[in-house]
Amino acid sequence: MKIHHAFFVLVLALALWPWSPQARPLEEEPTLRQLADAKGIVFGTAVGDSFWGIDKRYQATVKRDFNTIVAEYHMKFGKLHPRPIEFEWRFADSIMRFADEQGMKVRGHCLLWHKEAGWLEKVNYSRDSLMFLIHRAIDSIVGRYRGKIPQWDVVNEAISNKTDSLYRDTFLFRKLGIDYIDSAFRWARAADSSVKLYYNEYGNEALGLKSQKTYDFLKGLKERGVPVDGIGLQCHFDNDSVPDLDSIAANMKRLAELDLDIALTEVDYRLSFPVDSAKLAKQKENYRDLMKVCLENSRCKTFLVWGVNDSTSWVRPYFKNRGAPLLFNNDYAAKPAYYGIWEALAGRPNAIGQGLRIRRVQGKPTAKALNQRKINGALELAPPSRTRIHVPTR
């Protein structure tokens, strides 16, 4: 009887062993970075001020799970070129050095974006002066990192959301027309002959008005002989209303037929509060299926998430009542979404992910708590880590 009992326990233990969450620590499964490397996928994350913060888990997560970094803001025009006679390279150089030390790559984002143009917009420059200043900036920035940055977003968000106009009504477009776009690509190419040059945009992921305009615009660039190599689809999605995947795949197909590389450049799926396990499970599926769509298109080799963990994501300050959009929670623990990407890359379920339990949501967040970022949600148990900025000195 006793032997029979022991045998039963042994069989049960063997059956459960690989699937128990405690059975294998995270380190015993390949990391996302290893899986992406094996598949030749540029898999990255955006890094912000917390990169230089005191919480070491931020950089540890970056180098463990990603092979690429993009500066969330430190390499935008206004940040790299804060005054007409001054460039600020310290943050960008520090990111470059980290990537170099860790065998990672840096993606350049973004040379021209009307929202982050700083002083360029504030002074009423003549057309010629403006073109000169943009040329000088692109030449200096792309030239400085020549051969070290494989992809640059040259122009960001220049297409209008309105039905009656192709181009967004920005100070750049009003003053320079589309000349500045064509020229920006040409100047970037002149500064680095091997870099892949991208046009980056949001809301153009699935078939529809904006993606049609993006397509027409890119076709125009190609016809004019402008050196554009790729399209960036930002992919900032609301977890509750995601675009149809077949439609995204169809859009990617026609972009690839235009001879463009496709990069999913800023992926995140924001959740409504309070967070619960059903929303997290849906988020996992969303990440998994989007990665699958990318893997199915031979021109889609770049997939970047817009941030490292939930407490440092841009979503909370920018979207009312939305948050928890990323692969890691406030405590840098892998969320179901992490295992979604993992499954798509590995082509099998992850042992630990299978056993993942979601902590219970403790009460409904009040608007005040939300503002203070103190909500007691499943993924919001720890307050965001305080970031102290260390300015690199070399």
For 326, which DSSP code? Answer: S
Amino acid at 102: Q
For the bound state, the minimum distance from the C-beta of residue 201 to ligand XIL, rounded and expressed in Å, comes to 9
Closest residue by beta carbon to ligand XIL: 314
For the bound state, the minimum distance from the C-beta of residue 208 to ligand XIL, rounded and expressed in Å, comes to 18
Cβ pair 177, 128 in contact under 8 A: no
Q: Has 201 been annotated as catalytic?
A: no
For the bound state, the minimum distance from the C-beta of residue 161 to ligand XIL, rounded and expressed in Å, comes to 13
Specify the residue, 156 or 350, whose C-beta has the smaller distance to ligand XIL: 156
For the bound state, the minimum distance from the C-beta of residue 200 to ligand XIL, rounded and expressed in Å, comes to 6
Which helix (H) or strand (E) element contains residue 70? Answer: strand 68-71
- Residue 91 interacts with ligand XIL (CB under 6 A): yes or no: no
For the bound state, the minimum distance from the C-beta of residue 315 to ligand XIL, rounded and expressed in Å, comes to 9
Q: Please, which of residues 196-215 interact with ligand XIL by CB under 6 A?
A: 200, 202
Q: Which residue out of 72, 121, 205, 266 is catalytically annotated?
A: 266
Among 55, 65, 72, 192, binds ligand XIL (CB under 6 A): 72
- Residue 310 interacts with ligand XIL (CB under 6 A): yes or no: no
Nearest Cα neighbor of 190 from 116, 136, 237, 249 is 136
Cβ pair 109, 74 in contact under 8 A: no
Q: Which residue out of 72, 157, 205, 380 is catalytically annotated?
A: 157
Cα gap 228→219, rounded to integer Å:
10
What is the chain's Cα-based Rg?
23
Cβ pair 192, 143 in contact under 8 A: yes
For the bound state, the minimum distance from the C-beta of residue 346 to ligand XIL, rounded and expressed in Å, comes to 29
Phi, psi of 228 (to 5 degrees): -110, 130
Specify the residue, 200 or 311, whose C-beta has the smaller distance to ligand XIL: 200
* Residue 238-277 contact track with ligand XIL, rule CB under 6 A, x = bound: ----------------------------x-----------
Specify the residue, 73 or 167, whose C-beta has the smaller distance to ligand XIL: 73
Q: Please, which of residues 313-352 interact with ligand XIL by CB under 6 A?
A: 314
Sequence-distant (6+) residues with CB within 8 A of 180 are 112, 130, 131, 134, 172, 173
CA atoms within 13 A on the CB side of 381: 12
* Residue 218-237 contact track with ligand XIL, rule CB under 6 A, x = bound: ----------------x---
- Residue 156 interacts with ligand XIL (CB under 6 A): yes or no: yes
- Determine the size of the site formed for ligand XIL (CB under 6 A): 8
- Residue 73 interacts with ligand XIL (CB under 6 A): yes or no: yes
- Alpha helices by DSSP H, the chain: 2-16, 32-39, 56-65, 77-80, 90-101, 119-122, 127-144, 171-176, 179-191, 209-223, 245-257, 277-296, 315-318, 336-346, 351-354, 367-371
Q: Has 157 been annotated as catalytic?
A: yes
Cα gap 307→235, rounded to integer Å:
13
Which positions lie near ligand XIL, rule CB under 6 A? 72-73, 156, 200, 202, 234, 266, 314
Catalytic residue ranges = 157, 266
